[in-house]
Every structure is written in C-alpha cells, then in structure tokens.
Structure 1
C-alpha cells in the first residue's frame, strides 16, 4: 500500500493534492483587488450622504421661530379663536399657519397670520379664524421667519 494510514484507518489529507483536469470544472483565477476604486467609491458615497444631510437640515432643521398652541374657543358660530404664543428673534417678523378641522378631520378654515417685526422675542396672539362648518379643533401648524 502506497498511502499512509492513521491508526484508526483514515487517510490523511495532503496539501499538494491535485485534481484531474476537467473533472470539477474550470478553476477560477483569483480576482484582482482594486483598493483605490473601493476607497474612491466609499468617499463619494460618504460625501453624497453629508451633502444630503446638510441640505435636509437646512430645509427642515432647527427653526429660529417656534410656536405653541395655548388654546382655542369655538363658542362663536362661524369662527374659532385660536390663541398661541410665538418665540422669534428680536426685530424680525414671522408668519404662522393656523387651521381648524371638523369631526371628520376635514379642514374647514385656514389662514396665515402675520406677526409684525418688533423688538419682542415672545408674542402671544389671539386670532379669530373664520370656518365653514362645525369646528372641532383650532391648530397652529407651524411658524416661519418672514423675510
């Protein structure tokens, strides 16, 4: 016998085993790695992500104007009085979107309320919003700085 056997009858594997040609298909060559291409693509993807994050933070990020709903009164037919407070930079104006909805959730009144530019940074507003229907809510959607 030309093969070596262990005491339990197994034949040990050798590292220099060769397989018959054509029996197991064509052997693939090792692919060349291109670290420069991988690094360049990684940098492009990271930069695109940073640009997208910066742009979205400009559009939807922290606003210098903030609002808070204090309450609403729907006791007068045909209108809802919405009371809210606005924090804004001194000397700057703001605009706030105010709306009212009915029990089904349909918008029945909408207005954009102008807050004049003055030295105050905190303004409390009471706005009578005209509605078409029976109101269920009075809301301040958002406020933004006026140019």
Structure 2
C-alpha cells in the first residue's frame, strides 16, 4: 500500500478537499503583480540616489587644492617649523591653515599661510610658526583656493 492510497485501495481526490470555515484561518488570494509600478518606484529611487550623491559631491567633494604634511620640527623653543606640500591649479594661489598643539592637545599656535600664485601645480613650503608653550605637534589643517 502506498501513502496516497486509502485502506481500501482507493486513491483520494485531493482537488476537491474543503476545510471547515474558520478552523485554519482564511486563505489569501495571490497578490496582483504590478510590474509598471515596481519599475517606476525603482527608477524613482535610483534618480533620487543619483541626485543626492551629486549634491553631496558638490558640497563636500574633493577641492582643487589639497595638502600633505611632510615634516615638523619642534626642537627650537617658541616655534615649530612645519614643512608641507600643496597641490593647486597652475597660476592660482592658496591659503593653508597651520597649527601646533601641546602635549595636552591645546592649540598653542595658529596661522593662515599664503601660498603664492605661480605656474607650478605642486609647491613645497616650510613655515616657522610661533607658539606659546612647549609644542608637541605641527599640523596643516587644510588648504583652500585664495580669493
């Protein structure tokens, strides 16, 4: 005897089985598919994501001016020599914020250094920053295009 047979050898007809109402919950009808709505919503989300990425890139994206700290020398009391390089458009000037902090992290020196406009795109500078206290660091915070 197989599992689909009854004890008397008959095969039950399961296509017309009806369950008592309310006993097993109600049967759900399959949801209607709406491919046009799904495609429209997907396209809307993609367009919104691209617009948000573009706006954020415009606001916070890479500037045309960038900087890199090469070295600092705090061996002389009352000053820190900060050596850094600036990448900028040729023929344009830049301004860089340079600072120094002490061992506790307090800012003890700050200056905005002007990078002259010339035909080079990379400029290496050393700026001697006067400080008030014992310097522990020399930093280039950021550089921006001069007005």
Please report the TM-score for the alignment, with normalisation by the length of structure 2.
Answer: 0.78
Query: 1:66-145 maps to which residues of 2 (within 5 A)?
Result: 66-145=66-145
> How big is each residue's C-alpha offset from its partner over 1:22-73, in whole Å with a ceiling of 9 and x where there is no partner?
3223333333333333222211211121112222223333333222222112
Q: Is residue 2:34 matched to residue 1:49?
A: no
> How big is each residue's C-alpha offset from its partner over 1:89-118, in whole Å with a ceiling of 9 and x where there is no partner?
111111112111222223222222121222
Distance in 2, Cα, partners of 1:76 & 1:133:
11
Shift of 1:13: 7.0
Task: Tell me the C-alpha RMSD between the 2 structures.
Answer: 2.5
Distance in 2, Cα, partners of 1:74 & 1:93:
27
Shift of 1:6: 5.8
Distance in 2, Cα, partners of 1:130 & 1:70:
19
Distance in 1, Cα, partners of 2:34 & 2:43:
15
**Match of 1:36, SS?**
helix
Distance in 1, Cα, partners of 2:119 & 2:94:
13
The total of aligned residue pairs comes to 142
Please report the TM-score for the alignment, with normalisation by the length of structure 1.
Answer: 0.78
Q: Is there any run of 5+ residues in structure 1 with no aligned partner, and where?
A: none
